[in-house]
Structure 1
Amino acid sequence: MGVVRVGVVGVGNMGSGHAVHFTAGRVKGAELVAVCDKNPERLQWAKEHLQGEIVFYPDVDDMLASGSIDAVIIATPHYDHPTIAIKAFEKGLHVLIEKPAGVYTKQVRLMNEAAAASGTVFSIMYQMRMNPIFIKMRDLIESGELGEIRRTNWIITNWYRSQSYYDSGSWRATWNGEGGGVLLNQDPHQLDLWQWIIGMMPKRVRAFCHFGKWRNIEVEDDVTAYVEYENGATGVFVTSTGDAPGTNRFEITGDRGKLVMENDKLTLWRLRVSEKEFNATYKGGFGEPECWKCDIPTPGSYPDHLGIIQNFVDAINHGTQLIAPGEEGLKGLTVSNAMHLSTWTDNWVDLPIDEELYLEHLQERIKHSCGNKMAASTS
């Protein structure tokens, strides 16, 4: 294609950073030619801080119909991701969306269908898939180093957020403005990595979400969930924005050992023979398989958001394989929707979830939400 002409929708916290990558010349094979934000203050910021031949739009439909862009980066509030993406696909535009893919799976499934019909490049901002630690974890599991997965546990409670953070925008931590709390705002990366690394989705979920437990908000800020997999493995996911200090520990156990990620370090406890083999052949009393502790070396840095943006552009220009295909945003969202629905119904939820039932419960909460729809397109 040559130089990809890119438009950014939403220049809030994330969108402004993405736009600056282009104007600073950090993205090869692309240029920023359009910016859209319905908030006049954010649009004025863009005019003052973004250099180059850029057209500024207060209306996203006008930008998408302009014929001046080849691709769009969507960095708006969560509910708008699928809506704007579908419009972009209908115009034949390539799309990169911020996480999460959306708020509810029915909406995201329609977006994925539109993407498939368009034949354009579709990616999602799952930049943590580029973290060498998670790449190595996935590699070790795919290569069979851990054998069959038996247990997964992730404690991710270092998302501390104060009340002032939630008070900084009327859309934050509301059902009608954000569609959820820690699961939708902070944890989409972990919910994506959870299934991406081990290579399988849960078959059912039982969750306990606490709404406004630590802060004066209406959505979840503390969650403990238990999941079961088709092969008999189980998993626990614990998250909160109220713990200080918090923990980030991801532990995966297989029948050949255990893999632990914590404090930016990766450790493998490898059994000399599998637990299954040891159990079948050992004839002593107390005993267990011989185990070797191995510190797994991984590089210390990765390109973060810029890496996903460059990969997106390279996929358009050269057919490079996507690191984070946009369609895969449905997987992590399915798990978070299941956690909400399990709490709302006080019951197990089988996957795939009942999308209509989820939407019914969500709409009831939106109807009574104390938040206001945000007037600005920020992420």
Structure 2
Amino acid sequence: MEVVRIGIIGLGNMGSAHAKYLIENKVKGAVLAAVCDARTERLEWAAREFGNGVARFAGIEEMYASGTIDGVIICTPHYGHPAEAVAAFKHGLHVLTEKPAGVYTKQVREMNEAAAAAGKVFGIMYNQRTQPLYKKLRDLIRQGELGEIRRINWIITLWYRSQSYYDSGGWRATWAGEGGGVLINQSPHQLDLWQWVTGMMPKRLRAFCAFGKHRDIEVENEVTAYAEYENGATGVFITSACETPGTNRLEVVGDLGRMVIENDKLTFYRLRQSETEFNRTYKGGFGEPEVWKIDIPVEGQRGQHHLITQDWVNGILHGTPLIAPGEEGLKGLTLSNAMLLSAWTDEWAELPLDEDRFYGLLRQKIEASGAAKTTEEKTLDTTGSY
């Protein structure tokens, strides 16, 4: 194979954006070969934008069986991702799915098993993993510059959404339509990065969620979570879609200092002597290690979507390891599910997650939802807007 023929499912905001950069040849070794959407107006838009060189399908199975594509980018509502990916694997197609991997881990685990059995290249659109700031932070941590990790704090409240946003679609901010709120819709990238940059998943967490705070919606739009790790480290994750102005500050503390990402800068407060060593040897009463403030130089393109698509295509053509393997979508989703489970039960959520308990409670929310029909219950031929 010299060129990967790509099909896109769902021509909403993200599907349309992926299609445009493929048409503009921003991904080497790839062509946009087909698009799929159940809505006639979106297929008509594709005809005007891309011409007859890009095949158009109203049904997913029809596109999968057409022989016109080698891989698919899934850009449909959250519930549909796992089923659509499993169907693609059965047709021998490579898969790149938009985030989140799905709504509940039990469903995503089945998708991961299908990916492993198919032997196809499976990626997830965690484009923030290509963001130079987070790549640099991860690299420094992996090289031991911070020593043992002791605390991870992230305040990410840049997701302000008004009531008119939620009113723009009956499926928005409902358990049946989206399966969650700020955790599943706005913060999946940060939940992924929270564990990716450190390489650590918590052993348990306690979360407090506000559901419909200051908004007429069903789902969580404000979350504060506290996590504990096997090595004694702790973490705090705070996110909101109902406050403005927002904050985006990631802070990782280790035995050798503190690293902070804020305002598009990475700052390292480097201890001249490790805290452990200082504590063991210092006899002066009040005092602390000498600290150096270092502005870490960071270069490279921002975390654009086409970089992940390029990485996925490279994996198909050349067998190179992926920056964001699709199987790793399970990790961030586990954190999201655990936070909701803790809030629903008013208890600690232990990891590994009790997936059956979470799914049972989610089903209760879905059944009581104001949305008429869950995406999970729709046929594969219904795509909708992302």
TM range (shorter): over 0.9
- In the TM superposition, 1:61-100 aligns within 5 A as 61-100=61-100
Report the identity percentage.
64
Q: Which whole-Å deviations, capped at 9, do the CAs of 1:49-105 have from their partners, x for residues lacking one?
A: 223512111110111111221100000000000000000011110000000000000
Using the TM superposition, give the Cα deviation of residue 319 of structure 1 relative to its aligned residue in structure 2, in angstroms. 1.3
Match of 2:379 in 1: none
Match of 2:187 in 1: 187
Distance 1:23 1:51, change over 3 A: farther
- Contact 1:23–1:51 (CA under 8 A) maintained in structure 2: no
Whether 1:35 aligns to 2:35 is yes
Q: How many residues align?
A: 379
Aligned partners of 1:278 and 1:63: how far apart in 2? Answer: 64
SS in 1 for 2:284: coil
Match of 1:209 in 2: 209
* TM score, norm. by length of structure 1: 0.98
Q: Compare 296-305 and 134-143 and name the one that shifted more.
A: 296-305
Aligned partners of 1:8 and 1:209: how far apart in 2? Answer: 34
Q: Which whole-Å deviations, capped at 9, do the CAs of 1:266-296 have from their partners, x for residues lacking one?
A: 1000101110100000001110011111011
Moved over 3 A (4+): 372-376
Match of 1:260 in 2: 260
SS in 2 for 1:235: strand
- In the TM superposition, 1:301-340 aligns within 5 A as 301-302=301-302, 304-340=304-340
Structure 1: which 5+ residue stretches go unaligned? none
Match of 1:377 in 2: 384
Match of 1:126 in 2: 126
Aligned partners of 2:273 and 2:10: how far apart in 1? Answer: 53
* TM score, norm. by length of structure 2: 0.96
SS in 2 for 1:340: helix
- Contact 1:97–1:123 (CA under 8 A) maintained in structure 2: yes
- Contact 1:89–1:95 (CA under 8 A) maintained in structure 2: yes
- Contact 1:23–1:52 (CA under 8 A) maintained in structure 2: no
Match of 1:247 in 2: 247
2:275 aligned partner, one-letter code: E
SS in 1 for 2:51: coil
SS in 2 for 1:6: strand
Q: Which whole-Å deviations, capped at 9, do the CAs of 1:174-203 have from their partners, x for residues lacking one?
A: 000000000000000000000000111011
- In the TM superposition, 1:137-286 aligns within 5 A as 137-286=137-286
SS in 2 for 1:18: helix
Aligned partners of 1:10 and 1:49: how far apart in 2? Answer: 15
Using the TM superposition, give the Cα deviation of residue 45 of structure 1 relative to its aligned residue in structure 2, in angstroms. 1.7
1:73 aligned partner, one-letter code: I
Aligned partners of 1:144 and 1:72: how far apart in 2? Answer: 38
Match of 1:104 in 2: 104
Structure 2: which 5+ residue stretches go unaligned? 376-381
SS in 2 for 1:198: coil
Whether 1:14 aligns to 2:21 is no
- Contact 1:9–1:377 (CA under 8 A) maintained in structure 2: no
Using the TM superposition, give the Cα deviation of residue 324 of structure 1 relative to its aligned residue in structure 2, in angstroms. 0.4
SS in 1 for 2:53: coil
Aligned partners of 1:328 and 1:376: how far apart in 2? Answer: 24
Using the TM superposition, give the Cα deviation of residue 300 of structure 1 relative to its aligned residue in structure 2, in angstroms. 6.0
- Contact 2:99–2:124 (CA under 8 A) maintained in structure 1: yes
Aligned partners of 2:54 and 2:245: how far apart in 1? Answer: 44
Distance 1:303 1:194, change over 3 A: closer
1:88 aligned partner, one-letter code: A
SS in 2 for 1:371: coil
Aligned partners of 2:286 and 2:52: how far apart in 1? Answer: 72
- Contact 2:275–2:289 (CA under 8 A) maintained in structure 1: yes
Distance 1:52 1:144, change over 3 A: farther
Using the TM superposition, give the Cα deviation of residue 302 of structure 1 relative to its aligned residue in structure 2, in angstroms. 2.5
Aligned partners of 2:317 and 2:32: how far apart in 1? Answer: 15
Aligned partners of 2:129 and 2:282: how far apart in 1? Answer: 40
SS in 2 for 1:112: helix
- Contact 2:136–2:298 (CA under 8 A) maintained in structure 1: yes
